[in-house]
Structure 1
C-alpha cells in the first residue's frame, strides 16, 4: 500500500530512524494501524510502548535487534527530541569499549526529571537521567541507527567516578573508569570538573594519578 510505503520512508528519515505514532498523525491518516502492519511485516520494530524504529539496510525486524545503546538513544530521542538525549555513564563506557561485554543496562541523559527506567521490548533497561544537556562534554558519534550524542571519555570518566551506582552496577562502573583513564588526559578531566564545579574524592584521586603519570 502507498500509505505504508510513505509511512516507512518518513520513519527512515526521522532522527535515529525512530518515531512515535503521534509524530506521524498530522501527515498520515490511521498512523497506529499503519505502524501495526509494518511491525507485522518486519519493516518496523517496537522498542517500547509507543516507540518504533526502522531497521537499517532493509533488515527484517522480526529477526534484527538494535544494540542496547542505540535503542536507548533512539527511545530518548523520539520522546525528548533530536540532540536532547546523550549516551552517558555505563552506556558511554560501552561505546568507548571500556566495558567489553553487554551488561543489560544503559544510561541516557535527558533534559527532564522524574522519568522511570524503561524496559525495552528488544532487551535491556534504559535509565533516563536528568542533566543539563548543554553543559555535558559530548560528541556526535555514529551508531547503527544514525548519529547521536555520546559523552566524551573525559566526561564519561567523571560521571562514572562521581556516581558509580547510577544504573545499579557500581563494580562495572568503577572497572570501566579504570579502563577509561588511559584514554583521558588530566587537562580534559579538569575541564569537565571546572565546567561542573565540583569533584569528589574519586575524581580528585584520578586527577592526582594522571599528574603523577604525566598525562
Structure 2
C-alpha cells in the first residue's frame, strides 16, 4: 500500500476531499478500519474530530498539537457524509470564512440536501448544525480552508441567509454587523435577483434596514 508522503496515512485516504473520512470510507484500505485508525490517531498523523470522523493531519503539522478551524472541520465532516457538491458552508460559518465575523464560534452551520442530526465535536466544545435545503439552488463558490477548497455561500447568498435565519447558530447579536459588512461587498443586482428567485425578499428588506442603520 502506497503511503502519503510523511503522513503514514494510506494515500487513498489522504486524498479524500477535505482530508476527512469515516471508518466505512476506509474499508478498501483496511479490513478492520477502526483499530488501524486508532493507531494512526495515537501516532499523531490522524485527528479524530468527532465519533466516527477523522481528519488527516497535514505533513507539516505532524508531531505538534494541531486542530483545524471549526468551519473547515464542519465542511470536511459534511463532505464525508454528502459529497463535495452537496455540502455548503452557510450562515454564520460562511460569514466567518468571508471574514465578516472575527471571533471564533462554537456552532457551525452547513446546508445539506437531507436531514442530519446535530454533531457534537469531541476535539473542542462545538457543534455542527445541518440545515436541509435545495443545495443546487444556492449561490455558492469554492473557498480555501486549511483542509482544502470547500463550497461556501457567496456574500450575496450569505446576506440573505443571515437575514432569514438570524438566530441560527446562537450569534444573533453579531448578525446585523456581519450582514452590513457583506451587504457592502455584494453586487446589488445579483442580491435582488437571488432574493426574488428564492423567495427571500423579506430577508433582503431586513438586510437593507440593518445596512442603512449602520451607515
Q: So what's the TM-score if we normalise by structure 1?
A: 0.88
Match of 1:166 among 165, 168, 193: 168
Counterpart of 1:149 in 2: which secondary structure?
Answer: strand
> Could you tell which deviates more after superposition, 191-200 or 87-96?
191-200
CA distance in 1, matches of 2:95, 2:172: 13
Counterpart of 1:168 in 2: which secondary structure?
Answer: coil
1:1-34 CA distance string (max 9 Å, x none): 9789775322210010111111111342221111
The yes-or-no answer on 1:157 pairing with 2:150 is no
Structure 1 consecutive aligned stretches of length 4 or more whose deviation exceeds 6 Å: 1-6, 208-211
1:126-176 CA distance string (max 9 Å, x none): 111111110000001111111110000000000001110111221122221
Pick closer, same or farther for the CA change 1:158–1:198 going to 2, 3 Å: closer
1:1-215 aligned at under 5 Å gives the runs 7-60=9-62, 63-113=65-115, 115-123=116-124, 124-200=126-202, 202-207=203-208
> Could you tell which deviates more after superposition, 104-113 or 88-97?
104-113
Pick closer, same or farther for the CA change 1:37–1:76 going to 2, 3 Å: same
Counterpart of 2:163 in 1: which secondary structure?
Answer: helix
CA distance in 2, matches of 1:207, 1:17: 39
Per the TM alignment, residue 210 of structure 1 is displaced from its structure 2 partner at its CA by 7.9
C-alpha root-mean-square deviation of aligned residues, in Å? Answer: 2.4
Q: So what's the TM-score if we normalise by structure 2?
A: 0.88
Per the TM alignment, residue 207 of structure 1 is displaced from its structure 2 partner at its CA by 4.9
CA distance in 1, matches of 2:85, 2:96: 20
Q: Where in structure 2 are there 5+ consecutive unaligned residues?
A: none
Q: Does structure 1 conserve the Cα–Cα contact (< 8 Å) formed by 2:163 and 2:206?
A: no
1:104-142 CA distance string (max 9 Å, x none): 2211111112x2222212222211111111000000111
Pick closer, same or farther for the CA change 1:106–1:195 going to 2, 3 Å: same
Q: How many residues align?
A: 209
Counterpart of 1:126 in 2: which secondary structure?
Answer: strand
